[in-house]
Amino acid sequence: MLSIGALRAHLVAARLAGVVATSREESLRSYRLFAARDPRVLIGLDPESSWGQLELIELMADRCGVSGDPLRSDGHDVIDPARTLVALDAFAERIGAAAQRGAPVLLGTGHPHRLLGFYVALADALSAAGCAVLTPAQGRCIDITTRFGLRTYNLDYVRGVALVREPGAPSSGGEPGAHTHSPLPVRTALAAAAEAGGPLPELVIGDHGWVCGAGQLGFEAIGLADTDDPALFVGEAEGVVSVVVPLDDAVRSDYYRPLTRYVLNRACLSQ
């Protein structure tokens, strides 16, 4: 396993933390939309408090390390790698606890192009530890509103990790799935699990709407989030989401492998 120093260096070199690709403009736009309670940015969260843009900038500076200066409006965002490492430890602790008690888990991603491999490794390790990796509502159709209008997707699973695909897309080889922020996939999966009489997940692992949607429904949820995804960090601040790891969620998929090894080792799940 990488040492803490080597992992920190990798985070910065791969731009998972440090100066990241996400622009300040993108993040500020997300904060404005969140403050206006735009559902595209709430991604399944129903905040208890009124979060204005200034409060969101302050929160994101605390949780991620972005600039707390509301007048800074351009350039690239910055994620403090120390905050990423602390959150990775908390993330691994929750996974290790679930493995110890053999808890049923649900994993899903709205970033399959980049993060599928990360979650698949977690699913494999949790399954080997005796956890039931749930796959409810496989093949179910879900209508999601996108910037291109209403689109119908199919809920699918790759080695225990949920994602959505365009209708007719092959389930193996080629297209890994569609990018989405929507909470509808996790709501569909959880409703199907309940209708079938369970089991229900004791831990939901993922990103975007998978985390916020599950946490808002009362399930323990942990995940990864970029600086333009304030909903997860608001959910963490309000106690709806258990752990959020701040990092760039759209770098090359192989750049997440050291994080995978680190998390599995910290969770005592190394194979």
Q: Summarize pLDDT for 98-152 with one digit per residue, the tens.
A: 999 999 999 999 999 999 999 999 999 999 999 999 999 999 999 998 777 788 9
Q: Are 189 and 108 in contact (CB under 8 A)?
A: yes
Does residue 88 sit within a domain?
yes
- C-alpha 259/C-alpha 189 separation (Å) is 27
Does residue 122 sit within a domain?
yes
Q: How many domains does the chain have?
A: 1
Q: Are 202 and 220 in contact (CB under 8 A)?
A: yes
Does residue 33 sit within a domain?
yes
The one-letter amino acid at 24: R
pLDDT-derived band at 42, boundaries 50, 70, 90: very high
Q: Are 164 and 137 in contact (CB under 8 A)?
A: no
Neighbours of 220 (CB within 10 A): 19
Confidence check: pLDDT of 86 > 70: yes
Does residue 81 sit within a domain?
yes
pLDDT at 147: 74
The residue with tokens 């996790």 is 186
Confidence check: pLDDT of 257 > 60: yes
Confidence check: pLDDT of 53 > 60: yes
pLDDT-derived band at 175, boundaries 50, 70, 90: low
pLDDT at 176: 79
b/e map 101-131, b = 16+ CB within 10 Å: eebbbbbbbbbbebbbbbbbbbbbbbeebeb
pLDDT-derived band at 171, boundaries 50, 70, 90: low
Q: Reduced to 3 states, what is the DSSP secondary structure of residue 144?
A: strand
What is the average pLDDT value for the chain, to the nearest integer?
A: 95
Q: What is the pLDDT of residues 20-32, one digit of tens each?
A: 999 999 999 999 9
- Is residue 100 exposed (0-12), middle (13-18) or buried (19+ Cβ within 10 Å)? middle
Q: What is the pLDDT of residues 213-249, one digit of tens each?
A: 999 999 999 999 999 999 999 999 999 999 999 999 9
In percent, the amount of the chain with pLDDT more than 90 equals 91
Does residue 109 sit within a domain?
yes
pTM flag (> 0.85): yes
- C-alpha 101/C-alpha 21 separation (Å) is 38
The residue with tokens 């300040």 is 24
Nearest to 19 by CA among 227, 224, 208: 227
pLDDT at 169: 67
Expressed as residue numbers, the domain containing 138 is 4-266
Q: Are 223 and 246 in contact (CB under 8 A)?
A: no
pLDDT-derived band at 190, boundaries 50, 70, 90: very high
Nearest to 65 by CA among 77, 75, 76: 77
Does residue 271 sit within a domain?
no
pLDDT at 46: 97
In percent, the amount of the chain with pLDDT more than 70 equals 96
